[in-house]
Structure 1
Amino acid sequence: MTEQDRKGAAFIREIARTEAPYGTLAIWYLGQESVIIKGDGITIYVDPYLSGDLDTGDWRRVFPAPIAPEEIQGVNLCLITHEHDDHMDARTLPWLHRSSPEAMIVAPACCKSALLEMGIPASGLITADDRQPLELFSKLRLTPIAAAHEQLERDADGCPRYVGYVLELNGVTLYHAGDTLVYPELIARVSALKPDIALLPINGRDYFRQQRGIVGNMDYREAAHFAREIGADTVIPLHYDLFAVNAEKPGHFVEYMYEQFPEQKGHVMARGERFVYVSPRAFLQP
């Protein structure tokens, strides 16, 4: 067993052994926008990109994933925000399904054909429709939120091409934005759900990246203002460090937020870190 194998096995054991008390959620950072969320016995993978499938030229990973796809275990739910390869990974999702065949995958409707080609059965797929919140496991409320990456796009049935998700679980409301710009309806929709914690992209966009076909997101300044506008208790930046060609310095986000909103709580996650968010309701009985 290699050192990386040992680290991967220890990482999976840590997830399995973590029990988040009421009013808390445990979050693990895998890179890009890939995170694992656990609360009330439910383990959720969001955009698991673990394979290094893009590992060529400009798209070489800056750091390896904490686990390999074949090490995945114990998944109850997988959320996909959109079809880009670093979010819907064709070399990770078949392993996830193989190890956790009962885990449902929630994804935009446009992802369905690709997921079927990966061997995911139609019975294991749920469409992410921002007009229809989902009640899952009798203790998770999941609300898809339309995202603008860089445009708001919908199919003929009105289903969004890009989404984020609001999870209400274990006494905590978490918003994972996926890839998106800020638009007025996004602020109104998310703030109405009163998120405790927001996971937001900060890599931004510019003319030169657009010319290379790199689709952008909110930048670190916009992310800081957006977190303030939606009333998030704590904000975690994402999507800034996995590919040098599409990176941002998280220190810029921290500095800007401190200068503009010094009372806003935030946390920059280390690679592979477990962060336990504690809400104001953590010490109250459910």
Structure 2
Amino acid sequence: MANTVDNISKEDWILNTFPEWGTYLNEEIEETEVKDGTVSMWWLGCTGIWLKSAAGTNILCDLWCGTGKRSHGNGQMKKGHQMMRMSGVQKMQPNLRTQPFVIDPFEIKKVDALVVTHIHSDHLDINTAAAVHQNCPTAKFIGPKEVVATWLKWGIPEEKTIIVKPGDEVQVKDIKIVALEAFDRTALVTCEDPAVSLKGKLPQDMDQIAVNYLFETSGGNIYHAGDSHYSNMFAKHGNEHTIDVCLGAYGENPRGITDKVTSVDMLRMAESLNAKVVIPVHYDIWANFMADPKEITELWQFKKDRLKYQFKPFIWQVGGKFTYPTDKDDLEFNFYRGFDDAFSIENDTPFPSFL
């Protein structure tokens, strides 16, 4: 039956439109052959990363396939929300999702491990967990204790899960995953029960709710800081591990809120970790935390000679690929623009000077 305006439904529109990229990126990742001595990764939005090694090992980290606000509701924040606890706010947080879905989770076919940094729902996602569980029967689910507890509640079999705390190492084929301390103070004031008061009490045990990760590969080592704030401990991690690329949760914090790493502290993090490349993530996703990553580049240009920086910033785009060390000297990503086969066949215009 031919399509007409009378037989198109909302369900048709949704299924024909979302995810906006369809399987384009799924296909690209599957078809990519990573060269020896390199490691490739793709930014999936927020802090979601897909890593692929030269041996074909696939690690999925923090892929989030949900949405932010979809209604004004009653205009009030949920009682006990971490932002309310942090700063005594009451008005609803206008955290609209600003990025399209660049990957179809239910078309993921080859994942060796799903790795999650911490308990927040824009990192720990039931849709991703379901897709990996259903499509990748041998995949491991790796995270701190409370992340694993959530997976178990969702129905992930316990034998698929691995609980990690700082200092633990997990070998996934040719990639070693090292769990390290996290510095996410927002996670420490996250408590789902609005009746519970945190005032005057000892904080939660960070090691049970959040970790940072170092992915050690034959092509280079990738440090994923989750939603960590800046910490002096980054220097300890930099002393104890070789870190080639570091990823940090960058954003423009609204008034009275400290939730994301600023441009200055992105540079401090890279310097402390002794990284060679620093990549900001997370600034893309929330309407109320959006920031311009070029600010990081400008500050780096301003400081690099005086402070003798040994690293470079890389400004990515969601859905884009970064290969280390191939791209280590690039400062920005741009998608393939196409049309490199211009005039490979005769063009067809009314006369030669038409365009």
Give the TM interval when normalised to the shorter protein. 0.7 to 0.9
Alignment length, in residue pairs?
274
Structure with greater strand percent: 1
The answer as to 2:316 corresponding to 1:269 is yes
Contact 1:140 1:169 in 2 (8 A): yes
The answer as to 2:209 corresponding to 1:161 is yes
Q: 1:120 to 1:54 in 2, by over 3 A?
A: farther
Q: 1:201 to 1:191 in 2, by over 3 A?
A: farther
Q: Which has the larger radius of gyration?
A: 2
C-alpha displacement of 1:231: 1.5
Q: Which 4+ runs in 1 deviate beyond 4 A?
A: 3-6, 53-57, 151-156, 204-207
Name the structure 2 match of 1:46. Answer: 61
Q: How does 1:68-107 map to 2 (within 5 A)?
A: 68-107=104-143
Instruction: State the alpha-carbon separation in 2 of the partners of residues 177 and 63 from structure 1.
Output: 21
C-alpha displacement of 1:261: 2.0
Instruction: State the alpha-carbon separation in 2 of the partners of residues 16 and 36 from structure 1.
Output: 11
Task: Mark the runs of 5 or more structure 1 residues left unpaired by the alignment.
Answer: 211-215, 281-286
Contact 1:145 1:166 in 2 (8 A): yes
With normalisation by structure 2, the TM-score equals 0.71
Name the structure 2 match of 1:239. Answer: 282
Name the structure 1 match of 2:12. Answer: none
Percent identity of the aligned residues?
23
Q: How does 1:134-153 map to 2 (within 5 A)?
A: 134-137=170-173, 139-150=174-185
Which of the numbers 102, 113, 118 marks the counterpart of 1:66? 102
Contact 1:8 1:71 in 2 (8 A): no
Q: 1:55 to 1:194 in 2, by over 3 A?
A: farther
Equivalent position SS for 1:225:
helix
Q: Which has the higher contact order (CA 8 A, sep 6+)?
A: 1
Name the structure 1 match of 2:295. Answer: 252
The answer as to 2:271 corresponding to 1:228 is yes
C-alpha displacement of 1:155: 6.2
C-alpha displacement of 1:69: 2.7
Instruction: State the alpha-carbon separation in 2 of the partners of residues 171 and 184 from structure 1.
Output: 27
With normalisation by structure 1, the TM-score equals 0.86
Task: Mark the runs of 5 or more structure 2 residues left unpaired by the alignment.
Answer: 1-14, 73-93, 189-202, 328-355
Q: 1:256 to 1:36 in 2, by over 3 A?
A: same
Between 1:172-181 and 1:111-120, the stretch displaced more is 111-120
Equivalent position SS for 1:272:
coil
Q: How does 1:159-198 map to 2 (within 5 A)?
A: 159-198=207-246
Instruction: State the alpha-carbon separation in 2 of the partners of residues 6 and 152 from structure 1.
Output: 31
Deviations 1:118-147 (A, max 9, x none): 22111111112112222232x221111111
Name the structure 1 match of 2:350. Answer: none
C-alpha displacement of 1:24: 1.2
C-alpha displacement of 1:62: 0.5
Instruction: State the alpha-carbon separation in 1 of the partners of residues 154 and 298 from structure 2.
Output: 42
AA matched with 1:17: E
C-alpha displacement of 1:206: 5.6
Which of the numbers 27, 31, 46 marks the counterpart of 1:13? 27
Q: 1:232 to 1:35 in 2, by over 3 A?
A: same
C-alpha displacement of 1:191: 3.6
Equivalent position SS for 1:159:
helix
Name the structure 2 match of 1:283. Answer: none
C-alpha displacement of 1:279: 6.2
C-alpha displacement of 1:5: 5.9
